[in-house]
Structures are given as structure tokens and as C-alpha cells.
Amino acid sequence: MNWLFLALLLLSDPVGDDHGAQLGYPRAAIYQEVGFADLTGFQMRQKDGAWQLGVRLDRYPNPAAAPLGFSLAVVAFYLDSQPGGSEKLPGCGLKTPAAGGWDEAYLLSGWGAEKRLPDGSGQPARAWREGDWIWLATSLRQRPRVYVASGIYDPFSPWAFRSPQPGGGYWRLDGPASAPAALDVIAADNAAVWASGVLPAAHGRHSWRLPAALALMALALFFVLRALRLKG
């Protein structure tokens, strides 16, 4: 274990729940691949004081040969890092719980990551692959609350999500125009998300297994050090 990394969160997400609010996939042949927008994990870790966000998808088809090794999905991270912020989640079409507004967001595609502010302004962010995981770097030193949603990447959409329309289409999802464009989210109860349109923070009701393990290890280390000191 690399002690530069302080892993504080590792969540898994089921395979096969990548249909959003019962949306149909676009009819273009590339979208008949399975699992490309299916979130299967989310992690946060702190390195050299700054928080990094990691996400895992079920499969990584890459017909457009994008540099990060996948080209069909977009993943949006909306971060609540300070009081106030925006409750509308642009792109994925969901909203945060009341008083949980986001302050900065990251849009991740196979071509890289972009940091966005609620006013729509953006700047490039660093993203990279580590095996099955895709990571991106934030400059936040305090742990944010994070809302995570995936969808189909659309380079022509302002917030990068392909949107639904009734009857669908070659490039469009099939569903009501008012339906969220998200296909999967990190949440304890996806059905409640689609029914309410409200996306809770990723760690809202999950157990914190890693922190407990780390706390136990720290406690053990403390006793070992104390024992050594008593002997000396």
C-alpha cells in the first residue's frame, strides 16, 4: 500500500442498471454494445493533499480510438465543496437534494476531463487510466460531496450528454424529452433517483468500509509504537 494515498471511499455499483429512467439506447450500431455506460465503481482518494476521483465502467468499447481507451460514455462528477451552489445538474438532467448544490463539476470522456463551473465556464483537467479505473485530479483539499452520473457522450451537446426524445433515433435516446439523460448513477437506490429526479451524494447511505479498516490499522500501529517505546 502506498501511504501517499489516503483512500477514503470505495463504492461498487451493480452491473446491468444502465438504462436510466427506462430509456432506450440510440439505434446506431455502435450503441448496441453492452455496458459502456454502466458504472460499476466509484472511489475518492487524497494524494499530496488534493482529492482525486476514480470511476469504473463495466466495459470500455473504443470505436473512435479515444486516448483514454473508451469513446461512447460520458461521466459527470458534480462536487459540493462549499455552502450555496447550484441544485440543477446540467447534462445528466437530475438535481441535487435541497441545500446540496454543487460548486464545480468535471465532465469525463475518452478525450479527457474538463472542469466546469455553474456559469458554464470550463478549463481542462487532468485525467488518466489505472487499469479498469479512470481517475481525475481536483485541486480540492477538503473532501467534497460528489454526485456521479453517466450517459452517452455527445461532443456537440454543451454538457456532453446525449439526450432523449420520444421514439428515440439513430443518435438519440428513446424516452420522454423531459427525462434525465443519465443512464446510470452512483446511488444506494437508483429507482428512487429516476422517480424523483433527485440524485443523492455518492456516499450518502453507503458503508465506509475503508476508513474503518484504516482507523483500525492506525490504532494497531499506535499500540505497536507504544510497546516499542516502553521496551526502549
Contact status: 38 vs Ca ion (CB under 5 A): yes
CB atoms under 10 Å from CB of 210, counted, come to 17
* Residue 72 binds Ca ion, judged by CB under 5 A: no
Q: In the bound complex, what is the minimum distance in angstroms from residue 114's beta carbon to Ca ion?
A: 23
Out of 39, 74, 136, 179, name the contact with Ca ion by CB under 5 A: 39
CB of 183 to Ca ion, least distance (A): 9
* Site membership for Ca ion, residue 199 (CB under 5 A): no
- Cell 443512464 belongs to which residue? 183
Among 17, 103, 114, 132, binds Ca ion (CB under 5 A): 17
By beta-carbon proximity to Ca ion, the closer residue of 13 and 80 is 13
How far is the CA of 47 from the CAs of 8, 111, 134, 179, 188, in angstroms? 11, 23, 15, 37, 27
CA distance 29 to 136: 30
Q: Any contact of residue 11 with Ca ion (CB under 5 A)?
A: no
If one asks whether residue 187 binds Ca ion (CB under 5 A), the answer comes out as no
Q: What are the beta bridge partners of residue 52?
A: 45, 137
- Does position 73 interact with Ca ion (CB under 5 A)? The reply is no
Q: Count residues binding Ca ion (CB under 5 A).
A: 5
CA dist 142 → 19, 52, 74, 93, 125 (Å):
33, 11, 25, 27, 18
**Pairing label, strands 164-165, 173-174:** parallel
Q: How far is the CB of 39 from Ca ion (least distance, A)?
A: 4
Distance between CA atoms of residues 17 and 4, nearest Å: 34
> What is the closest distance, in whole angstroms, from the C-beta atom of residue 42 to Ca ion in the complex?
10
Beta bridge partners of 6: 46
Q: Does 80 bind Ca ion (CB under 5 A)?
A: no
Choose which of 13, 80, 104, 154 interacts with Ca ion (CB under 5 A): 13
Contact between 104 and 115 under an 8 Å Cβ cutoff? The reply is: yes
Q: Which stretch in 37-45, 89-97, 166-174, 209-217 sits in contact with Ca ion by CB under 5 A?
A: 37-45
Does 154 help bind Ca ion (rule: CB under 5 A)? no
Q: Which residues bind Ca ion (CB under 5 A)?
A: 13, 17, 38-39, 184
